[in-house]
Amino acid sequence: MTWGLGPLFERPGLLIGHYVGEFVTPGIGHIVREAGGEFVFLDMEHSGNTFETINRGLRYFEAAGLPALLRVPSDAYHHIARALDIGAEGIIVPMLGSAAQAKEIVEKIKYTPVGKRGLGLGLGNDRYRMAPTVEALRAANARTRFVALIETVEGVENVEAIAALDGVDVLWVGHSDLTASMGIPGQYDHPDYVKALARVVKAGKKHRKRLGRLVTDVEGAIAEVGEGWDTLCYHGDAWLLQVAIRQGIDAIRAGTAKGKKRK
């Protein structure tokens, strides 16, 4: 049985989603879906979200028909396997450094004969659907996706080998951590960082992998699509709310100040 990320990632062209780290609430899936989002980047690394919270959140996104990528805390088997068993279809692992590490992660994500994931069938990963074992394994292997998070110097140096690996579906750049790893934190116009991005794009295009990143401004996002990025996560839940609140409050204060001056 196929749903979610499989058909979405196989569709050519631009995909745009939203980062959710703070507000894993019952309505969040419908809110993002109605806003035009095509997927969510659900986070456990930089949040207080537990597996119990994520378990509920995945049901919220399923109810809205919104596929979810889940960034787990590490590449540990128990993090990846638990995330998959409760229903995550796309796994993002932080600080990916090498093709060997990526291969091990693929083996943790996929069932036999592709990988070594322990069998836990008829659970959230199967949407509680009971099916013959061989059929269930084949369907799960076809469904699950691996997003390789390139956010270290080591990851960039090995990106060609990572991109060439079967089972890697997306190359995703963690821009903040990458600049920090390069010793130029926050310097997104630095020539070395620009070269690193170009190297990731080149590797992704060569091996026909999707290219993902987080964006927080519209003009920048449009420019990045022109560079080859085709899987964008537009802004994050807490940041976007804060920006909107700040803009409104600042506008009210500025308008009030102008009115007082006229008097």
Nearest to 19 by CA among 68, 79, 87, 84: 68
Tokens found for residue 33: 């879906």
With cut-offs at 50, 70 and 90, classify the pLDDT of residue 22. Answer: very high
pLDDT at site 1 = 46
pTM over 0.85: yes
State how far the Cα of 84 lies from the Cα of 117, in Å rounded to an integer.
Answer: 10
* Amino acid identity for residue 59 in this structure: R
Domain total for the chain?
Answer: 1
Residues 18, 46, 175, 190: which is the catalytic one? 46
Separation CA 7–CA 70 (nearest Å):
17
pLDDT at 150: 98
pLDDT in tens, 124-161: 888 888 999 999 999 999 999 999 999 999 999 999 99
Structure confidence at residue 263 as a pLDDT band (50, 70, 90)? low
175 is catalytic: no
Share in percent of the chain as helix, strand, coil (round to 5): 50, 15, 35
Band of residue 201 on the pLDDT scale cut at 50, 70, 90: very high
pLDDT in tens, 60-101: 999 999 999 999 999 999 999 999 999 999 999 999 999 999
Contact at 8 Å (CB) between 55 and 26? no
Give the DSSP letter string of 18-63: EEESS---TTHHHHHHHTT---EEEESTTS---HHHHHHHHHHHHH
pLDDT of the residue at 237: 97
Looking at the predicted structure, is the pLDDT value of residue 175 above 50? yes
Please give the mean pLDDT across all residues of the chain. Answer: 94
Residues near 166 by beta carbon (within 8 Å), at least 6 away in sequence: 106
Which residues span the domain enclosing 205?
5-262
CATH number for position 99: 3.20.20.60
Count CA within 13 A, CB hemisphere, residue 95.
8
DSSP code, position 124: G
- CA 114, chain centre distance (Å): 23
Q: Find out whether 200 and 229 touch, Cβ atoms under 8 Å.
A: no
What tens digit of pLDDT does each residue of 24-38 get? 999 999 999 999 999
Q: Give 259's pLDDT tier (boundaries 50, 70, 90).
A: low
Q: Which residues contact 236 (CB under 8 A, 6 or more apart)?
A: 18, 19, 20, 21, 22, 214, 216
